[in-house]
Structure 1
Amino acid sequence: MRGAARAADDRGGRPGLAGRLAGFACRATPTESALATMRLSLFDWAACAIAGAAEPAAAILRAQAEAEGGAGQASLAGSPAMRVPARAAALVNGAASHALDYDDTHMGPVLHPSVAVLPAALAVAERQGAGGAETLRAALVGAEIMVRLGLWLGPDHPGRGFHPTATCGAFGAAVAAGLLAGLDAGRMEQALAIAATRAAGLQSVFGSMGKPLNAGTAAAAGIEAADLAAAGFTCPPAALDGPQGFGPAHGGAARSEALLSLDARWEMARVSHKLHACCHGLHAMLEALAGLDLPASDIDRVTVRTHPRWLAVCDDPAPTTGLEAKFSYRLTAAMALAGRDTGDPATFSAAACTEPALVRLRDRVDVVGDRALPETAAQVDVTARGGATTRLVHDIDTPLPPERLRRRLEAKAGVLAGAERAATLAAATLADVPDIAEVGRLLREAPA
């Protein structure tokens, strides 16, 4: 532990960021509202993983894991007869759950907590024989730290091209895995330091198989960091926030206000669950368009106003693949105007990108950046052929009532996993104490 001691001495004996987060992780007492949100996220994540297991990216990674084999520790989505090492399972299940880009998002740092943290938590829980309550708490604490790190880094981190789901996700996964492996605060600090030199992921791969891979590698890196720390591996805690550490090297702003309320407020209670099978930046627009009562044939022009940060993420003007379509304001607006179900992943296809009726509608849509709008809101002006304009506004930061959200997520799971499997999954995940063994079984039996 010589490196850790030297790092503490250099700060005058004060713990750095890794030490503060490790201490919080080991003492945290989640609120019931945060736990309730985490149950919804577990349900939603597992439905996404079941559906995503059949995607090409997941199939390739699963085949690799099956070929490599190893200790039968954890369930592999889409592989009913085989278990694999926890790290391999987290890689595959993380990628499968993010393959459809339909999982939850925290709109503060704009990252996807569940696809990085839950695959690690589930895999280590299966390996360790952990119960549902223990697993849920570990996942929630890991996801909270992932979100807080995203807020601590600030907008310049993704602005430089880093993918916060991947980078921050490695830390959240390390915390979840470390709690389930029984790490104390000192070992947890080491796990976070190790994760600092393993965390990676770029936004340049959005719209390709590389984006879901980012989620899987974050989950796997987190398990690796926790297991190494448990074995006595050491790394300087300053690797997270010290000179040349992860934060300074990755455009981090070190926003101290992100950590002020660690013991008082749970950011994960504010997570948003996707109700459309595309980039979360498009959802405010789609929810706004749901209020339009005008046939597509009567539409002359559509102007979408959104915060400029989304223009670098989901403003592909003319996508050609299903993955690219999930990042296109113009095409998804056309889908909504044409009455297509944007809650069904099958809607986002290469065929839809070239369908004449959708292309004609797409070409009537203009997208404009507007810094006066919150990052969670969109304003849509729809001009009819007769000249009348209808203005529609929606902000996804306005939460749905809990029962309505649950009903919409249950409907979404029915589309993703089938009605019978979705009902079984809801029973396993939404109970006060989730049934981890049943979640693993449902993942293994996912259609592949």
Structure 2
Amino acid sequence: MPFVDDLIAFSAQSSADLPASALRLAQFSLLDWLVCGRAGVEEPVAQKLRAFGVSEGGVQTASTFGGPKMPPRMAALINGAVSHALDYDDTHFAHIGHLSVGIYPVALAAAEDIGANASDFLAAFVVGAEAAIRIGTVLGAAHYNLGFHQTATAGAFGATVAAGRLYGLTQEQMRAALGLCATRASGLKSQFGTMGKPYNAGIAASNGIECAQLARLDMTSCADGLMGPQGFAETHHAGLPLETADWDGLAGGKLLFADNKYKLHACCHGLHAMIEAVLLAKETGVTFDDVTEFVLRTNPRWLKVCDIKQPRTGLEVKFSYAWLAGMTLRGDATGAPDTYTDALALDLALAAFAEKVTVIGDDTLTDLQVEGILTFKNGATREASFDLAAPLPMETLEGKLRSKAQACLGQEGADIWSILDQMDQMNAREIGRLVSG
């Protein structure tokens, strides 16, 4: 069966057939998304998009972070961008993108629009997230390396599936919605480092609402805008062997969403394996002053992303192996967004420690792995390694995400997580109140 047909069939997957573990992880993702969004409400991009939304007006049905209710499409745009403003949201490394910031805004906006309950809202997110991942794996690293931001491209298709599911699209309407999304999905990595990056996430969510609502009105589109001739895949992936693109297993098997990863440190995800490796070493008694040299090996792709040798700003610190290694050993709060000030880039102790750090590309390591050697004043050495692919027990992950929420928002973060075990009795509009604050 063609990929798009499998995708459409999966979009109608019964909630009862979705793995309970995936739905639990979706609850974690929701609360983590809410924390990221509430923490980002005062960011410049948040203020600008709220002002843009107010200027357009419209039917006020969907909640926005830090602002009034808006029409669903505008709310999805705002909430996608605001929740990605701090770049502290979850990552799926097979998808090569951020799932929650593109799909939860559209799922919430549509669910509030129709008055859905939380269970239907969560199921729509899981199905949309899985769709985005599967499409992301077809587009692959080549698509990302061409300069496309998969959070916004593959993510827009996932957002469309989530919205279409909630709006009750027929199979033919869902096909049309995906076709319309194929001509709308967009987002470039050239926007990284600007407000355009979080805007990309908002675009994905906004496209999802727009395409689903137009298909609901029976607007037509091509039969296969995703994988068909001159469709999205063919035009956005140089040399894609389309004949090898398949769903790789229908609903009922393991969902790739189960491998979703969460940021526990307020910096580039490429640094997290190193931070965890250093934290493990620190547990054995290693201190900041003990280390005379740290040689770290990482996947070469990260050398162009997060190996800034001498960061000039707090933002650049978030992309510096050398600075984060010293901060971690020193005990700085790497999970608190307000740690990363411009003054931190001028810290003389960290600058001196950075001189001791050497980062080497090693293509035998995955994107999620690091290996390193710490050398001490007495000449002794210690290995430091970590693999983010190693699954965390749900209880451990929950505890770490709760700690992150409190580091970001204090009591407000704790209050957001207090609804975890009440979610099954809630509806989307009640969750929307947590968005608006």
Q: Which residue of 1 aligns with 2:410?
A: 418
Shift, 1:156, TM fit: 0.7
Which of the numbers 170, 174, 181 marks the counterpart of 1:188? Answer: 174
Aligned pairs, how many?
A: 428
Q: Which residue of 2 aligns with 1:397?
A: 389
The answer to whether residue 104 in structure 2 is matched with residue 118 in structure 1 is yes
Deviations 1:365-394 (A, max 9, x none): 222111111221111222223332221110
The answer to whether residue 260 in structure 2 is matched with residue 271 in structure 1 is yes
Kindly provide the amino acid, as one letter, of the partner of residue 41 in structure 2: A
In the alignment, the residues of structure 2 paired with residue 382 and residue 342 of structure 1 have an alpha-carbon distance, to the nearest angstrom, of: 20
CA contact (8 A) 2:265 2:335 kept: yes
The answer to whether residue 93 in structure 2 is matched with residue 107 in structure 1 is yes
Q: Which residue of 2 aligns with 1:304?
A: 296
SS in 2 for 1:165: coil
Q: Which residue of 1 aligns with 2:141?
A: 155
In the alignment, the residues of structure 1 paired with residue 198 and residue 164 of structure 2 have an alpha-carbon distance, to the nearest angstrom, of: 23
Q: Which residue of 2 aligns with 1:44?
A: 32
Deviations 1:135-162 (A, max 9, x none): 0101110001001111111211111111
Structure 1: tracts of 5 or more residues without a match: 1-14
Which of the numbers 307, 313, 322 marks the counterpart of 2:314? Answer: 322
CA contact (8 A) 1:90 1:220 kept: yes
SS in 1 for 2:54: helix
Distance change in 2, residues 1:303/1:442 (3 Å) = same
Shift, 1:417, TM fit: 2.4
In the alignment, the residues of structure 2 paired with residue 198 and residue 250 of structure 1 have an alpha-carbon distance, to the nearest angstrom, of: 13
SS in 1 for 2:373: strand
Q: Which residue of 2 aligns with 1:11?
A: none
Distance change in 2, residues 1:316/1:213 (3 Å) = farther
Shift, 1:253, TM fit: 5.1
The answer to whether residue 434 in structure 2 is matched with residue 431 in structure 1 is no
Which of the numbers 359, 363, 385 marks the counterpart of 1:367? Answer: 359
In the alignment, the residues of structure 2 paired with residue 24 and residue 439 of structure 1 have an alpha-carbon distance, to the nearest angstrom, of: 26
Q: Which residue of 2 aligns with 1:259?
A: 247
CA contact (8 A) 2:35 2:408 kept: yes
In the alignment, the residues of structure 1 paired with residue 293 and residue 191 of structure 2 have an alpha-carbon distance, to the nearest angstrom, of: 32
- Report the TM-score, using the length of structure 2 for normalisation: 0.93
Shift, 1:328, TM fit: 2.4
Deviations 1:182-235 (A, max 9, x none): 111111111111111111112222232222111111111111111111111122
Shift, 1:298, TM fit: 2.8
In the alignment, the residues of structure 1 paired with residue 142 and residue 39 of structure 2 have an alpha-carbon distance, to the nearest angstrom, of: 33
SS in 2 for 1:83: strand
SS in 1 for 2:358: strand
Kindly provide the amino acid, as one letter, of the partner of residue 68 in structure 1: E
In the alignment, the residues of structure 1 paired with residue 370 and residue 245 of structure 2 have an alpha-carbon distance, to the nearest angstrom, of: 27
In the alignment, the residues of structure 1 paired with residue 391 and residue 332 of structure 2 have an alpha-carbon distance, to the nearest angstrom, of: 24
In the alignment, the residues of structure 2 paired with residue 332 and residue 205 of structure 1 have an alpha-carbon distance, to the nearest angstrom, of: 24
Percent identity for Structure 1 against Structure 2: 44
Kindly provide the amino acid, as one letter, of the partner of residue 352 in structure 1: L
Shift, 1:50, TM fit: 0.7
Which of the numbers 231, 239, 242 marks the counterpart of 2:225? Answer: 239
Distance change in 2, residues 1:185/1:371 (3 Å) = same
CA contact (8 A) 2:2 2:246 kept: no
Q: Which residue of 2 aligns with 1:73?
A: 61
Deviations 1:321-380 (A, max 9, x none): 333332222222222122211111112222212222222222322221111112211112
In the alignment, the residues of structure 2 paired with residue 255 and residue 429 of structure 1 have an alpha-carbon distance, to the nearest angstrom, of: 43
SS in 1 for 2:319: coil
Does 370-379 or 131-140 show the bigger shift?
A: 370-379
Kindly provide the amino acid, as one letter, of the partner of residue 77 in structure 1: F
SS in 1 for 2:372: strand
Structure 2: tracts of 5 or more residues without a match: none
In the alignment, the residues of structure 2 paired with residue 136 and residue 26 of structure 1 have an alpha-carbon distance, to the nearest angstrom, of: 14
CA contact (8 A) 2:95 2:132 kept: no
Shift, 1:118, TM fit: 0.2
In the alignment, the residues of structure 1 paired with residue 379 and residue 156 of structure 2 have an alpha-carbon distance, to the nearest angstrom, of: 52
In the alignment, the residues of structure 2 paired with residue 149 and residue 193 of structure 1 have an alpha-carbon distance, to the nearest angstrom, of: 14
- Report the TM-score, using the length of structure 1 for normalisation: 0.91
In the alignment, the residues of structure 2 paired with residue 255 and residue 166 of structure 1 have an alpha-carbon distance, to the nearest angstrom, of: 24
In the alignment, the residues of structure 1 paired with residue 196 and residue 358 of structure 2 have an alpha-carbon distance, to the nearest angstrom, of: 28
Does 240-249 or 215-224 show the bigger shift?
A: 240-249
Distance change in 2, residues 1:99/1:141 (3 Å) = same
Distance change in 2, residues 1:212/1:340 (3 Å) = same
Kindly provide the amino acid, as one letter, of the partner of residue 190 in structure 2: S
In the alignment, the residues of structure 1 paired with residue 422 and residue 404 of structure 2 have an alpha-carbon distance, to the nearest angstrom, of: 19
Does 245-254 or 38-47 show the bigger shift?
A: 245-254
Which of the numbers 176, 195, 211 marks the counterpart of 1:209? Answer: 195
Q: Which residue of 1 aligns with 2:272?
A: 283
The answer to whether residue 325 in structure 2 is matched with residue 333 in structure 1 is yes
Shift, 1:422, TM fit: 2.7
Shift, 1:432, TM fit: 5.1
CA contact (8 A) 1:378 1:394 kept: yes
In the alignment, the residues of structure 2 paired with residue 213 and residue 147 of structure 1 have an alpha-carbon distance, to the nearest angstrom, of: 20
Which of the numbers 179, 183, 188 marks the counterpart of 2:165? Answer: 179
Distance change in 2, residues 1:321/1:66 (3 Å) = farther
